[in-house]
Amino acid sequence: LWLTDPVFSRRASPVPFAGPKRFHAPPIALDELPPLAGVILSHNHYDHLDRASIRALADRVGVFVAPLGVGDLLVRWGVDPAKVRQLDWWDAITIDGLQLTATPSQHFSGRGLF
C-alpha cells in the first residue's frame, strides 16, 4: 500500500490553531493504517506535506519518495535518511515494480520559515 501526500492533521498549517481547517475527518486514522510500502510526496505545500503525519508514519513506511529538498525536511523531522529517495526533474525510480518519474510543474511553493 502506498500513500500520496498524507495529511491527517486538522489544519494545513505549521501551527495547530491557524490555517485552513479540514472539512471532513480522514477516512481512516493513522494508527489504523496497515503497513505501508511507501509514501509519495508531490511538493512542500502544507496541504500536501504535513509534519505531524510524516513523524507519525516515519517508522511505519518502507520508503519516502520526494522532490529534491523535500527529503531534507523529512530527515530533519526524524525520518531515517536510508528511507528517503529524492528525485530531480525527470529522474525515475522503480520500487517493487512501481516506476515513479518526477515531472516538473509550475506551482508556487508558498512555505514560510517552517
For the cut 80, the answer to whether the pLDDT of residue 101 exceeds it is: yes
β-pairing, 92-95 with 84-87?
A: unpaired
Confidence of residue 111 (pLDDT cuts 50, 70, 90): low
Question: At CB < 8 A and 24+ separation, what contacts does 76-82 make?
Answer: 77/51, 79/54
Q: What is the mean pLDDT of residues 32-48?
A: 94
28 vs 25: CA distance, rounded Å: 8
Angle, CA 98 vertex, CA 96 and CA 104 arms, to 5° = 135
Cell 513506511 belongs to residue: 61
